[in-house]
Structure 1
Amino acid sequence: MKIIAKNKFSKMEYDVIEKYECGIVLEGWEVKSLRANNVNLKGSFCNIKNDELFLVNTHIGQYMHVVADYERTRKLLLHKKEIYRIRFKKEQQSLQIIPTMFYWKDNNIKIEIALVKHLKVHDKRNKIIKNEQDKKLKKIIANYT
């Protein structure tokens, strides 16, 4: 598995509830642009319309001289049961669906999406404090052994 791009803000801004792996419908120039790691996931999200999942607001950069819509809506490929499960959890718990990373798997481009809950400011602070405490604890354990 070779990672193409990660959403760096997903860990800082959101609390990840559940992750899914899905395929994505792309055009030829988009695949070549992804090979060159020319993608930006900041501000992108997923919508469910007519029992289908779509990736919105993801910028895949220009490849050579192709003139196209770089932030077009792209269809994600999941089983119907998974889409129903995602829709149910999203509506019940008021969650969001965001992409966390693009990667290669067996010569196919896959995207990992996550059901997330937006963190509030005090939750972010608590998360930072907890991470710092974990780092200190690991240092102490490493020095002790």
Structure 2
Amino acid sequence: MAKSKPKDNALAQNRKARHDYNILETYEAGIALTGTEIKSVRASRINLKDGFAQVKNGEVWLMNVHISLYDQGNIFNHDPLRNRKLLLHKKEIKHLSEETQKKGITIVPLKVYIKNGFAKVLIGIAQGKHVYDKRETIKRRDQEREIRRTLKNYG
């Protein structure tokens, strides 16, 4: 029987983050959303491109993530760019706080998905890449692609 690829249940991914940052660690966090927000998220109407997270007063907040207005929402529809609280354990929050105190370290959202009916976000502790690091990554990826292509044709 042929191997099947694992189902990727991502509603939104931040591909730019993997290009611009070295991801050091990842955490799965819940998101505190309102009713119209979760409906928009389930419809994949979320943009993580410019998003980031910050630790404030012992809480982690997801900022600058755009969740589009729900089409069937009424006057109580949500603000698309409001800050959203991330749900993590105290130990994880403490670790994130300590890591972000270091120079050049930030927290970026990598992926949003639904798990057991709840919206989750995969956040990563990230360190910014330099331009030459980005070029090196692209070069290495092209070489790996060429090797796979050669092995496929002759293997």
> Offset at 1:68?
3.2
Match of 2:85 among 75, 97, 114: 75
Correspondences of 1:5-24 after superposition (within 5 Å): 5-24=12-31
* Distance in 1 of aligned mates of 2:30 and 2:78: 21
Gaps spanning 5+ residues in structure 2: where?
1-7
Which residue does the alignment assign to 2:124? 114
Q: CA RMSD in A?
A: 1.3
* Distance in 2 of aligned mates of 1:65 and 1:114: 32
- SS at structure 1 position matched to 2:136: helix
Match of 1:86 among 96, 103, 125: 96
Q: Note if 1:38 corresponds to 2:45.
A: yes
* Distance in 2 of aligned mates of 1:13 and 1:38: 23
Which residue does the alignment assign to 2:55? 48
Which residue does the alignment assign to 2:151? 141
What TM-score, normalized to structure 1?
Answer: 0.94
- The alignment of Structure 1 onto Structure 2 pairs a total of residues equal to 145
> Offset at 1:89?
1.9
Gaps spanning 5+ residues in structure 1: where?
none
- SS at structure 2 position matched to 1:92: coil
Q: Note if 1:58 corresponds to 2:65.
A: yes
- SS at structure 2 position matched to 1:76: strand
Of residues 121-130 and 83-92 in structure 1, the stretch that sits farther from structure 2 once superposed is 83-92
% identical equivalent positions: 37
